[in-house]
Structure 1
Amino acid sequence: MKPLPPTPALNDLFRLLPDRVAAVLERSAGLDDSAYLHWESLRHRKPPGGLSDREWWFALKWRRSSAAVRVPLLRATNDTPLTYTRHARVELGVSKMDRLLAGRQALPQAAANPATRDQYLASSLMEEAIHSSLFEGAVSTREAAKDMLRSRREPMNRDERMILNNFRAMERLREMAAAPLSLEGILELHRILTDGTLDDPGQAGRVQRPGEVRVDVIDHRVNRVVHTPPPAEQLPDRMAALVEFANAPDIENSQYLHPVIRSILLHFQLAYDHPFYDGNGRTARALFYWSMLHRGYWLAEFFSISRLLYRNRRPYELAYQQVESDAQDATYFLIQQLEVLDQAVAELFAYVERKGRAQLSLRRRLVDRGDLNHRQLALLDHALRRPEAEYTHDSHATSHRISGVTARTDLLGLVAKGWLRQVRVGRRVHYLPIDQLEARMQQPDP
């Protein structure tokens, strides 16, 4: 991706087009700005009648500036403050998150029910851990990565180590969410995320120091620098400002900052400051989750933003450049991330509904087979779709966040019904679906 050049500044209107200022500003209120186009997109489109492309841009910039909010504490390398516009797409996006994530709308029953929520939570933690790592270049299949996490086996290479680290960091985030953020907490998360994956292990859990060569953000597809982070000498002050911003009240100095906006901007600023040798993107996304949970958006732990970013990374990367090239206007990043959140929540609800229908269908088929708990039903549903799967006490315990004793009881119950068989692998017992499981489930219990 080619770096975006700076956009024309609003001050240029008065300097370059002094005779057109009044006409341009008069047109600004009536222009459609619903798409919130960046200059690089706008200049290739036909402007409204009576305006040149630059006049169209200046008119929109004037309108945006009148609705701009200066974000306290966050700034660019040249001290340009981070801002965002009170735009309809931003306001609609945060309103939807309030309804969907903070419990003000009916939630999927399975996610709200303590009896089944741990199954969905374990799955979501795995999805975020896997895709956050894949986004940063780890190489693994989703099924192989899930097998490693479920079975709790040691990672076999650096890529699997990165995935395991992400999983452990997501679990740690849940513990940290109740407390204010600290610099030590950020460093701890970075240490967990990068453990055993860096060429220089001494870089884990510390910011770059004055005198060290800063690590540029490079688009490796074209071998081009797309972002040069602030000098290391600025990092102590920047990290302190980031922590203060993360912990600030929603209303400060008579200005309200929506918690979801704060969470997204925390994500942006950590990635912009790029304080670490490696692992900045993973740490930035982790801070987003911390902030959402800390501010009461509890359903955030059930979805994965990295899965969507991995599928379509260009809009995410482009949004960073649009902000930096347009005088730190973070509206581009807010709009992009709110769209990701909207899609992530929709996929979560669809997933829970789909799983609920599958388990209801399975329950109906097993209505005369005796009592099965929701964990056993989930395992049977998985086994019907994956007849080659193997289960252990550890894998079942991890999938449902239960004790090893409870996991063993579940599995032995399915063995007793004749639906799983036991095989010994070394010193461990594995449980495999029997051949022709579906046909066997139609028969009376042994």
Structure 2
Amino acid sequence: MKLPMPPPSYVELLTSTPPERLAALIAVGPVDDKGRYLHWDELRYRQPPDGLTAEEWWLGTRTARRSQAKALPLIGTNGKLFVLSNVEEIQRLTHEIDQRASGEVLMPAVVTSPQASRKYLVSSLIEEAISSSQLEGASTTRREAKDMLRTGRKPVTHGEKMILNNFRAMELAAEESQSPLDVNVVMSLHRQVTAGTLEDERDAGRLQQPDEERIAVVWHDERVLHRPPAAETLPERLQAMCDFANGLTGDGFIHPVVRSIIVHFWLAYDHPFVDGNGRTARALFYRSMLSNGYWLTQYLAVSSVIKQAPSKYALSYLHAETDDNDITYFVIAQLRVIRKAIDRLYDYLERKAAESREVEQLLRGYRFLNHRQITLVSQLLDDPGVSATVKEHQTVHRVSNASARNDLKHLVQIGLLEEVKVGRAAVFVPAEGFRERLGTLGNR
């Protein structure tokens, strides 16, 4: 990743531009003619408006942004407050997220029914846990990670521990989302995110101390991207972040989604822990969204979108920090990520709804099967290589061990599954002639 070029000094541009040229900059807005909120590193390569140099265009752009920027209670390492410009793209994207992720959202029955909802919630938590951990270096295949989480087996590698921790942290964040955010909640999330993965377990849920070497943010090639605030300031800054998340800082109205994104940025910027800062920041974002009524967030794999373009994620931090603490870059980037995650979810659910209708048509006469058994049967129709265990069935559908066992035993009794031993574990696989057997059961 190429580091962005910092913008030229605003004060120097302002003082070096002749007064008669300043008048020509009044018409320049905070975005370009395509509505893009460009950083200097992007703007300098584009054609400026007629009659302006790139530097004059930037000066006019920065002036327009300053005139509408809102100061935030987040203080940068340069001693200046971060600012936010509520440009049209932010307004448009937050409105779209309001419509699609909160309140009475029209969703396919495949997710709105309580039974199916539990299944898709688990699948989404698994996806988010894997992607968020892989962003921070967890090295394991998706198949192995999903197998671990669905079957309940103990993690073996460091990467698997990270993923299991993330899964549990997301569950914890959801469980506690209706209470105000406080320092204890942040520490609890960090302890869960890092359980069993730190060189010194005493570092879990503990801020860095003034007598320790401060942890910096480095890229894969060891370049330092960000040096966070001094450890002495962390307790006060963490409390300020909690106050901001709870709307107690007197900063006026900030859209709840934007506030959640800023909390994400704040924790990552302060980097208060020895490790696990990014995972904790993303868990706090998830918690903040749920606390503000964006229930669909439970089903969004935001980190999966970020993982596809990690450089964009890093650049949005750098653009904010290098342009005089303008957090607007990060907010816009994350709003786009959320929208893409919502798009993916809707596409996925539409496919699953279509598959569900096909299976229901095929199994219309199978009233003796419950929805969990029908889901498993449909998976076996799609992939005969699929197997199941009681623990996996229990985890996916969030039912008791007894209910999961009864489901599978019943499918054995009617001849659809066979129970085989793999080591000491009981595994349920499609019986010989599975498809043919289905055809003979429809009239029961």
Change (3 A) 1:336 1:214: same
Deviation readout 1:359-418 (Å, 9 max, x if unpaired): 211111122333322211221222233333321111101001111111112112222232
Q: Deviations over 1:73-94 (max 9, x none)?
A: 2121122111111111100111
Please tell me the root mean square deviation across aligned C-alpha atoms, in Å: 1.8
**Mapping of residues 236-247 of structure 1, within 5 Å:** 236-247=235-246
Q: How many aligned positions are there?
A: 442
| 1:24-103 matched pairs, under 5 angstroms | 24-29=24-29, 32=33, 34-71=35-72, 73-103=73-103
How far apart, in 1, do the equivalents of 2:383 and 2:210 lie?
Answer: 53
Equivalent of 1:266, from 249, 263, 266? Answer: 263
CA–CA distance in structure 2, aligned partners of residues 208 and 246 of structure 1: 22
Once the two structures are TM-superposed, the CA of residue 306 in structure 1 deviates from its matched residue by 0.7
- Which residue does 2:338 correspond to in 1? 341
Q: Tell me the secondary structure at the aligned position of residue 215 of structure 1.
A: coil
Structure 1 unmatched ranges of 5 or more:
none
SS in 1 for 2:394: helix
**d(CA) in 1 for partners of 2:85, 2:251:** 17
Structure 1 residue 438, shift from structure 2 partner: 3.3
**Partner of residue 146, structure 1:** 146
Show structure 2 runs of 5+ residues with no match: none
1:397 aligns with 2:399: no
Question: Alignment partner of 2:229: what SS?
Answer: coil
Answering whether residue 442 of structure 2 is matched by residue 441 of structure 1, we say: no
Alpha-carbon distance, 1:195 to partner: 0.8
In structure 1, C-alpha distance between the alignment counterparts of 2:424 and 2:251, rounded to whole Å: 64
| Contact 1:13/1:21 (8 A) holds in 2 | no
Cα distance in 2 between the residues matched to 1:163 and 1:131: 8
Residue 26 of structure 2 aligns to a residue in which SS?
Answer: helix
> 2: CA distance between counterparts of 1:403 and 1:157?
28
What CA deviation, in whole Å up to 9, does each residue of 1:185-225 have, x standing for no partner? Answer: 111111111111112222111110112111111111x3211
Task: Kindly provide the CA deviation profile for residues 284-306 of structure 1, in whole angstroms up to 9, marking residues without a partner as x.
Answer: 00000010011111111111101
Q: Which runs of 4+ in 1 moved over 6 A?
A: none
Aligned partner of residue 83 in structure 1, secondary structure: strand
What does 1:283-322 align with in structure 2 at a 5 Å threshold?
283-322=280-319
TM-score by length of 1: 0.95
The 2-side partners of 1:312 and 1:2 are apart by 14
Moved more, 5-14 or 291-300: 5-14
Q: Distance in 2 between matches of 1:80 and 1:383?
A: 59
Please give the per-residue CA displacement for 1:305-359, whole angstroms capped at 9, x wherever unaligned: 0111111211111100000000111111111111110011111111112112112
Shift in Å at residue 182 of structure 1? 1.2
Alignment of 1:331-370 (within 5 A): 331-370=328-367
> Percent identity among equivalent residues?
42
Alpha-carbon spacing, 1:253–1:158, altered in 2? closer, same or farther (3 Å) = closer
Q: Distance in 1 between matches of 2:432 and 2:171?
A: 36
Change (3 A) 1:257 1:365: same
- 1: CA distance, partners of 2:333 / 2:253: 21
Deviation digits for residues 167-193 of structure 1, max 9, x if unmatched? 111111111101111111111111111
Partner of 1:233: 232
Q: How far does the alpha carbon of each residue in 1:203-261 deviate from its partner, in whole angstroms, 9 at most, with x for none?
A: 111110112111111111x3211111111111111111111111116xx7472111000
Partner of 1:424: 421
| 1:359–1:377 CA contact under 8 A, matched in 2 | no
